[in-house]
Every structure is written in structure tokens, then in C-alpha cells.
Amino acid sequence: MSTTPRQQAVAIISGACGDIGRAIALELARRGVGMGLADILPADRTEALLNEVRALEVPVRYDQVDVSDAQAVQRWVGTVEGDIGGPNLVVAAAATVTLAGAMKVTEEQWKRELDVNLTGSFLTARAGAASMLAARREGRIVFVGSWAAHSPHTNLPAYSVSKAGVRMLCKCMALELASSGILVNEVAPGYVDAGLSAVVFRENPGAREQAAARVPVGRLMSAQDVARQVAYLCLDSSPHTTGSTLLMDGGLSLGQGPNAPGGPAT
């Protein structure tokens, strides 16, 4: 629970304990946005993040939520609304990844990735949008997608398919919600030196250096780079942008997709 005065802008952020989700939370907090955070970690493992946000003098709460559970997501949004205020910003950042090709990924792994990455994004965005519509609040929804949505990755088929689904979900919701003043967009990073890419880098020695060498601009991006682009789409800098993908892949999409095992995701 928070005792800090309510802010005009309130965000709900799923996947907030991951590197990218954490960076997004702190970036929005620096801009005066109050927030309800969610992830699958128990609350006692989130105090460091909550203290960082509180130090920026905005209200914050954390709830342990499985984003693939519709009722759990609805309870989370309702709790945030009652404690901090109705959200007008929604960031769907929760994701998981399995490093296995189409012939090796298990049915359980495939289902879990689509449940979290695609269905979880849908449930988070829909619950946030429902709150806005009920109160006639305008707002923003931002999906954290990936360049893997359009570039085949032979070692990440479930992840790539789930992110392709998120991209079309973004367009469908953008069209449906535009007349209500709710803008819906996607940020699609390439190789991030954090988050799910960091998992690949840890499990595949030399993968980080190989990834950086593939990027035409010659460098990987940070979680903070992604967070700044999310903030751009969340706040008033882009009042006419909806149904769009902000591709920030350093030029990766200009060449061949990574078909060799070990190519990272975001």
C-alpha cells in the first residue's frame, strides 16, 4: 500500500521484475507516473524495485500475478484502481522464452509461451482498456514486442509466433479503441543486452559478441533504451501514433534473420 498522493497518470506494468519491465517502471516513475506493478515473483523479492520507485516520490504497489489467468489480471487492475487510481497507461511486458526448435520444443513449452506472451498481453491490455472505457479515460497501451515477430528464428519458434500474434493484437485493439482516445502501439526491440537475450547470452558462450557483430549499427541496446521508447509512446510526445510498431533493432531487419542456433531474442 502507498501513502504517497495520487498522480494524474497511473500505469499498470506486467513483467515488472524483468530487466526491461524494471527499466520501464523507473523511467515512468521519473516522469511522475504512479504505478501498479505485477510479475510472478513473491512480494518479498520485489522490495528493492519498490524502494527505487518510492524514492522517486510516486505511488506504487506490487502484486504477484500470472498474466495468463484472466481473473488474476482483473483482480490486479481492480486493486490498483482502488489503491492508486484508475490506469491510463498500460505496458504489457511479461514474457518467457524457450530455446528449442520446432521439432524439439515440447507441447507444454509451446503452450506456456503463447499463454504468457500472447494471451497474457491480451488479458493485461484488455483489463486496462476496460478500466479506461468504464471511466471514459483516454490513455495509452504499449506492448513490448520483438523484431522476432517478423524475422524467423529457428531456435525460437514459439517466441516468434507469440510476438507475431502480439503485433496483430496491437493493430486490432488500436483500431477498436481509437475512437475512445486510447492509443495502442508496440515497441519491437532487436538485441537487448538484458532481459530474455541475457538468458541466451548466459547459456551460449560467445553469443553476446556474435549478436553485436550482426547488428548493422555495431552495438546492443540496453533495457533503458527500450524504456525510453516505451515512455515516448506512453506520454504526450506521440498523440497521433496508434497501431504502429516502433522497430528499434539497430538495422537487424535490413539483413538476414539469425538462423543459426544461439541467436538471441529480446
Select which of 62, 159, 191, 232 is catalytic: 159
CA geometry: angle 23, 183, 135, nearest 5 deg:
100
Residue 255 near residue 184 (C-beta atoms within 8 A):
no
Whose cell is 552495438? That residue is 219
* Cα end-to-end distance, the chain, whole Å: 32
Encode burial over 9-44: b for 16+ CB neighbours within 10 A, e otherwise.
bbbbbbbbbbbbbbbbbbbbbeeebbbbbbbeeeee
User: Distance (Å, rounded) from C-alpha 87 to C-alpha 140?
Assistant: 9
Measured distance CA(141)–CA(96) in Å, rounded: 20
d(CA 129, CA 237): 20
Helical (H) or strand (E) element with 60: strand 60-64
The single residue listed with the C-alpha cell 487510481 is 85
Is 232 catalytic? The answer is no
Q: Choose among 160, 128, 157, 123: nearest CA to 35.
A: 128
Q: Which residues are catalytic?
A: 159
